Amino acid sequence: MNPQSKTVLRTTYILIDFENVQPGSFQAVENAPIEIRIFRKERQTKVSFELAESLQSHGNHVEFIKMEGSGPNTLDFHIAYYIGKMAEKDPSGYFHIVSKDKGFESLIRHLKNNQILAQRVNELSDIRPLNSAQTGSTNEKAEAIKKWLKERVGGRSGKIKALKNSINAFFMKSLSDRELEKIVSLLKSKKIVKINDQKISNHI
């Protein structure tokens, strides 16, 4: 079998700012490698039954981390420290900070500048690997890309290579070359993108 035909998922690292976001439950896609770290302050001692129950199946892949101290940026510093440790151990991982605190954006930019995949999201549901399209059929993935393109502001022209890179990044760079080609072909057949001479002339 051609190794390019295999899909290898990167490990998804989820770091939750529990002071800022308290998820009701956690739904992950089947067979997707996930590591979860929940950062809480000393006074936060309660976790909802729904969240605790939904995390049980992840066993030792879940860790609650209690902050030491009570400074205004204590939790932020802890998250930055743990991302650094995990990125050193697994530089190919994809790191997601779940927090409404936009102060993390400078950290995200720094990670990206150092070739570390990272993003900040407001809610768990905003993390794409938790969407069933991550492990769904090629058609489902094409539909997810269609929705993503619609959400972007305005149309964009450019090279087909740039579109492929964006699609692969959407799925954590886990697509094989063959599957990527199929998705692009579906987008073209559905008239979601228009391609002329390896260039995108228009998309919704």
Q: How far is CA 87 from CA 93, 100, 188, in A?
A: 7, 22, 36
Tell the residue number behind the tokens 């002339």, with chain if given: 201
For the stretch 145-174, pLDDT in tens is 887 777 554 455 577 888 888 787 777 666
Which token pair is 134?
């991550």
Determine contact, residues 172/144, Cβ cutoff 8 Å. no
Per-residue pLDDT band for 90 (boundaries 50, 70, 90) equals: very high
Return d(Cα 131, Cα 95) in angstroms, integer.
16
Angle, vertex CA 20, rays to CA 14 and CA 24, nearest 5: 70
Lowest mean pLDDT among 67-71, 87-91, 182-186: 67-71
Determine contact, residues 17/40, Cβ cutoff 8 Å. no
All structural domains of the chain with their residue ranges: 9-130, 133-203
CA dihedral in degrees (131, 44, 54, 169; nearest 10)? 20
Q: What is the mean pLDDT of the chain?
A: 79
For the stretch 48-79, pLDDT in tens is 778 888 787 778 888 898 887 777 778 889 99
Out of 55-69, 85-99, 123-137, give the one with best mean pLDDT.
85-99
- The pTM of the full predicted model, rounded to 2 decimals, is 0.64
Report percent pLDDT > 70 for the chain. Answer: 76
Determine contact, residues 191/202, Cβ cutoff 8 Å. no
Q: How far is CA 3 from CA 6, 169, 172, in A?
A: 6, 19, 18
Nearest CA among 80, 61, 67, 15 for reference residue 40 = 67
Mean pLDDT of 12-41: 81
Residue 5: is its pLDDT beyond 50? Answer: no
Report helix, strand or coil for 5: helix
Most distant pair of Cα atoms in the chain: their distance? 60
Instruction: Tell me how far the alpha carbon of residue 147 is from its chain's centroid.
Output: 16
Residue 7: is its pLDDT beyond 50? Answer: no
List the CATH code of the domain at 9-130: 3.40.50.1010
Higher pLDDT, 10 or 38: 38
